[in-house]
Amino acid sequence: MPQSRQIVVHPDVRLHTVSRYLYGHFAEHLGRCIYEGIWVGEDSPIENEGGIRLDTVRALKELELPVLRWPGGCFADNYHWMDGIGPRSERPRRHNLWWNQPETNEFGTDEFAAFCRMIGAEPYICLNVGSGTVEEARSWVEYCNSSQPTDLVRLRRDNGSPEPHNVKFWGIGNENWGCGGNLRPEHYADLYRRFATYVRGTAGADARLIACGSHPGIPEWDERFLAAMNGALHLVDYIALHIYSGGGTSDTEFADEDYYGLIAAIDVMDRNIARAAGLAKACDPQEHRIGLVLDEWGTWYKEATVPTGLCQQNTMRDALFTAAGFHCFHRHADRLFMTNMAQTVNVLQALVLTQGPEMIVTPTYHVYEMFRPHRDGRLVACEVDGPTLSLPGGGERGAISASATRSEDGGGLFLSVVNLDLENAITATVRVVGEGEWRVAQVRRLAGQDIRSHNTFEEPEAVRPEAIRVESEAPLETMEFPARSVTTIRLDRAG
């Protein structure tokens, strides 16, 4: 039996802006993400431009990802950037310590910058603090961004990149409480002060410096780090959280209970972001705002192990988690500036999967694509009156997750609605209240046959969004949101 409820959107009650960077991504030298997923080499039979595979480029370009974080992850604190520049045949071969695989260094800084240009994303580079030096980090910044007549700039030119790469986002290490050195927050803060001083000095005032923050198991890290930064907090533009969800469950062979467990994990993200946001606000130095980024998030199932290169499948469960996760991020966007899902191709909650010359996109990809109009919009008030779901662990949450944004010019309104209930369709009255009238311009839906539905190389379009026919120029009224579905509704001003 469908249950009757309502969603009320208030386009005139404008809240904060939803930064486009909330829709960022992350690609690491891990498994088949970079090598095979992005880089195939110039001699590959797979269609490529300068060694970068073009099917992946086309798929990602379509998403207009705003930013891409690289080269890690744990790999970052064991990466020496000079290994990855110059003639490829002369680059050293190394061992990728954390992911136990060879590293040819064929894909380095200039290839990463080229890839970002091809897909239209801004680069975000994570520096090596754990095993690197301040001078190594500083010189990487100079190589990337300087136009001065220096030897490093000449080197970049000789390597085929006459123009600076203009990298704005610089991470000062990754997970320095773990693979990035197993440091105490106070020691990390002392290193951060040194690294940030020279990185900022070289990159200039426009650079944005990102500090390693906590994961949900060590919330005290943030507080101790920020306390130890007292007097130099102006060097911290953002503090970066990492939150993975879904651990211990299977990618496709999961129970309904596992699905609801993953939905409960959105509340874990919510609480951790709220906690860190409160802390950052309390620590803001004069005339400086410490923002938050979540530069690793997403699902991590039991199939994703080091021997499998952290590869896992991606179902409608991932899509619903992503969509409701974005709604959570929208609510926190007054402090939360960027998120980077892990990882772009073939690793963890990937957007794209490849198998030799073949490539498919995942249900998660479709959510990124469907939610594009939210980017840089103003969040507007959206009230939901709907049924509740009981979650494992005793919690509860609304079965409907909804979020609405209004374009900066005020002319477009975009509403996304997720029905998280696995069994029940929800029929809701959707009302837009306030000045003027709004008409439905487009409705799209992602549902799949089942919560376990996913795309395969044999059936690449098993899950894909469909356009829902609406009477042209119809006002919004009652809509049915099928069980386990993501719906987007674009509205334009009437008249």
Stretch that binds ligand AHR, among 72-80, 316-324, 368-376, 439-447 (CB under 6 A): 72-80
Nearest residue to ligand AHR, by Cβ distance, number only:
73
Residues from 205 through 244 that contact ligand AHR (CB under 6 A): none
What is the smallest separation between the CB atom of 297 and ligand AHR, expressed in angstroms? Answer: 10
Report the C-alpha gap between 162 and 160 in whole angstroms: 6
Give the total of residues touching ligand AHR (CB under 6 A): 10
Nearer to ligand AHR, 72 or 386 (CB): 72
The only residue of 342, 345, 446, 491 in contact with ligand AHR, by rule CB under 6 A: 342
285 CB neighbour count, 10 Å cutoff: 15
Report the C-alpha gap between 173 and 159 in whole angstroms: 26
Of residues 106, 123, 125, 105, the one with CA closest to residue 171:
125
Stretch that binds ligand AHR, among 33-41, 70-78, 114-122, 279-287 (CB under 6 A): 70-78
Report the C-alpha gap between 116 and 180 in whole angstroms: 25
Residue appearing with tokens 């000062």? 172
What is the smallest separation between the CB atom of 495 and ligand AHR, expressed in angstroms? Answer: 49
Taking a C-beta distance cutoff of 8 angstroms, is the pair 94, 140 a contact? Answer: no
What's the full length of the chain, in residues? Answer: 495
Q: Which amino acid type is present at position 460?
A: P
The only residue of 74, 209, 379, 402 in contact with ligand AHR, by rule CB under 6 A: 74
Nearer to ligand AHR, 323 or 348 (CB): 348
Nearer to ligand AHR, 37 or 386 (CB): 37
Per the residue annotation, which of 36, 103, 106, 296 is the catalytic one? 296
- Is residue 73 part of the contact set for ligand AHR (CB under 6 A)? yes
What's the number of CA atoms in the CB half-sphere (13 Å) around residue 375?
18
What is the smallest separation between the CB atom of 311 and ligand AHR, expressed in angstroms? Answer: 12
Residue appearing with tokens 């990149």? 161
Structure-block tokens of residue 345 = 């191709």
- Across 133-207, the runs of DSSP E, i.e. the strands, are 169-172
Pairing of strands 94-96, 101-103: antiparallel
What is the smallest separation between the CB atom of 212 and ligand AHR, expressed in angstroms? Answer: 9
Per the residue annotation, which of 103, 106, 111, 175 is the catalytic one? 175
- Is residue 175 part of the contact set for ligand AHR (CB under 6 A)? yes
What is the smallest separation between the CB atom of 374 and ligand AHR, expressed in angstroms? Answer: 25
Residue appearing with tokens 């192990």? 305
Nearer to ligand AHR, 125 or 348 (CB): 348
Taking a C-beta distance cutoff of 8 angstroms, is the pair 168, 113 a contact? Answer: no
φ, ψ (nearest 5 deg) of residue 69:
-90, 140
Sequence-separated (6 or more) residues with CB below 8 Å from residue 78: 72, 96, 97, 98, 128, 130, 131
Nearer to ligand AHR, 24 or 73 (CB): 73
- Across 407-447, the runs of DSSP E, i.e. the strands, are 412-419, 426-432, 438-446
Site string for ligand AHR, 117-156 (x = CB under 6 A): ----------------------------------------
Note if the bond before 71 is cis, omega within 30 degrees: yes
- Is residue 77 part of the contact set for ligand AHR (CB under 6 A)? no
What is the smallest separation between the CB atom of 409 and ligand AHR, expressed in angstroms? Answer: 37
Nearer to ligand AHR, 71 or 108 (CB): 71
φ, ψ (nearest 5 deg) of residue 106:
-65, -30
Structure-block tokens of residue 456 = 């395969």
Nearer to ligand AHR, 174 or 362 (CB): 174
Taking a C-beta distance cutoff of 8 angstroms, is the pair 487, 400 a contact? Answer: no
Told to judge if 473 belongs to the known catalytic residues of this protein, a careful annotator would answer no
Nearer to ligand AHR, 11 or 72 (CB): 72
The only residue of 96, 128, 139, 174 in contact with ligand AHR, by rule CB under 6 A: 174
Stretch that binds ligand AHR, among 340-348, 365-373, 392-400, 405-413 (CB under 6 A): 340-348
Told to judge if 175 belongs to the known catalytic residues of this protein, a careful annotator would answer yes
The only residue of 28, 55, 110, 222 in contact with ligand AHR, by rule CB under 6 A: 28
162 CB neighbour count, 10 Å cutoff: 10
Pairing of strands 412-419, 48-49: unpaired
Site string for ligand AHR, 345-384 (x = CB under 6 A): ---x------------------------------------
Which residues bind to ligand AHR, rule: CB under 6 A? Answer: 28, 72-74, 174-175, 296, 342-343, 348
The set of catalytic residues is: 175, 296
